[in-house]
Amino acid sequence: TYVVTEACIKCKYMDCVEVCPVDCFYEGDNMLVINPDECIDCGVCEPECPAEAILPDTEDGLAKWLEVNAKYAEVWPNITEKGEPPADADDFKDVENKFEKFFS
Ligand code: SF4
Ligand code: F3S
Specify the CATH number for the domain of residue 55: 3.30.70.20
Site to substitute for ligand 2 among 2, 4, 26, 76, most atoms within 8 A of C-beta: 4
- Residue ranges making up the domain that contains 15: 2-81
The pTM for the full model equals 0.97
Query: Total structural domains in the chain?
Result: 1
Of 31, 37, 40, 65, the one to substitute when testing ligand 1's pocket (max ligand atoms within 8 A of C-beta) is: 40
Tell me whether residue 22 is in a domain. yes
Distance 35 CA to ligand 1 centre (A): 9
- Is the CB of residue 29 less than 8 Å from the CB of residue 81? no
Query: Could you read off the pLDDT of 51-95 as tens digits, one per residue?
Result: 999 999 999 999 999 999 999 999 999 999 999 999 999 999 999
Q: How far is the CA of 54 from the centre of ligand 2 (A)?
A: 7
Is the pLDDT at 104 greater than 70? The verdict is no
d(CA 44, CA 98): 25
Is 77 domain-assigned?
yes
- How far does the centroid of ligand 2 lie from the alpha carbon of residue 68, in Å? 15
Residues 47 and 70: their CA atoms lie apart, in Å, by 21
